Amino acid sequence: MTAEEVLVQLARLGLRGDVSSMRRYLRRVLRGGSGASLTDTSREQLAALLTEEAATNAVMRDVQDIRNKNDDGASLVTVDAPSLDEPPPLLPAESAAEIDQIIREHERAHELEAADLVPTRTLLLTGAPGVGKSMTARSVAARLGLPLLRADLSALMSSYLGKTGQNLRSALLQARSEPTVMLLDEFDAIAKRRDDPSDVGELKRIVNVLLVELEEWPASSLLIAATNHPELLDRAIWRRFERVVSIGLPTADIRDALLKRHVARHGQAIGPETARAFVAATAGFSGADVTTLVRVAVRRVVLDRDGDLDTVLLEEALERLRVRAQTDDAEARATYCKISHDLLGASHRDIGAKLGLSHVTIGNILRAPSAHGRRSARVSKSSRPSRKEQRP
């Protein structure tokens, strides 16, 4: 695309008064997404214009934020500006593809408009705690170059009749006033089923407010709701969302990538066998769980200068795995035994003492072949810590 074609497209959007599409198109040009051939001077001038416009909008948001407070003076929403420098969430392939599709729709909104279509306006993210729902919202805002507004549920809720609904409407009106990504986290707290016998009339009115706002949400912004408990949502709410993306627990490949990302981020290194054992030990863990484990282990190593990250990392993972192993989880129990024995050199008696099992039972578990697709955490003899074999 030539500079002249870029100019024509900008003129078309400007004459229509479509400032939000013009802003998105400019960002796309600066990222090189349009293939436009621009001089360095032109790029610098366009970037300066966008920066100046963003600063002006920030001032306007601050003024509006003053008007959007509850009776106690607390802001109903928080405003953030996520950066592309932030590491993106690592999502399962299917979920990532759906998010990428929504990004493309907003980046190429002018093409959809030519076909009498609009980009996705409302998105519901579901999944267990810690799988990356909030991080996904931040990443979407950063990739679209839009501010992220997050509703503060503690500020929205009021003991006064009808006030919570008014607060919610005010927060959503603020988000609709200009192109933004609006995040409603813990969505089930305000969108519960209206047939819940334990509910009160006030929450039913809140759901009615949400139904109207979701129906009328503008295409220039994206509203993202996130919940750990989709089964609690009112059935009518489901129909108001144009897209629903369920984010599953991280796969082994994603856990491995998360481990390596955070280890490298803190200037540390681990062996490949440790990485494989860690991935096996964290099956069923969320991305947040993996991140927390790495940070706890690195803290221990930094404070104890003689610490070995490989050993500490596995100790932390195994301690959490031990809890699952004691709840009749045969898979977790087998993984715990194999990693403890093969990699850390623990005896059958030591393992049994921690699990509350006899050393004979531990021996049977270790001798049993991997079954039902279970991935063994065994390591080669050359990679095991040098030790004298301990027998029960």
Helices (H), 326-372: 330-342, 348-355, 359-367
Average pLDDT over residues 211-222: 90
Q: Which of 67, 93, 121 is the last residue of a domain?
A: 67
In angstroms, the CA 123 to CA 102 distance is: 9
Cβ proximity of 319 and 294 under 8 Å: no
Say yes or no: 264 and 234 in one domain.
Answer: no
C-beta of residue 128 within 8 angstroms of C-beta of residue 286: yes
Kindly state whether residues 295 and 199 are assigned to the same domain: no
pLDDT of 228 over the 90 cut = yes
Give yes or no: residues 35 and 131 share one domain: no
Residue 189 is predicted with a pLDDT of 83
Q: What predicted TM-score, i.e. pTM, was given to this entire model? A: 0.72
The rounded distance, in Å, linking the Cα atoms of 219 and 119 is: 6
Q: What is the pLDDT of residues 290-312, one digit of tens each?
A: 999 999 999 999 888 667 899 89
Q: Examine the domain organization and report whether 346 and 282 are in the same domain.
A: yes
In terms of residue numbers, what domain contains 135? 72-246
Q: pLDDT tier at 54 (50, 70, 90 boundaries)?
A: low
Amino acid at 275: A
The CATH number of whichever domain residue 209 belongs to comes to: 3.40.50.300
Residues 130 and 36 in one domain: no
Position 390 in a domain = no
How many folded domains does the chain comprise? Answer: 3
Among residues 214, 246, 278, the one where a domain terminates is 246
Gap between the Cα atoms of 299 and 239, Å rounded: 46
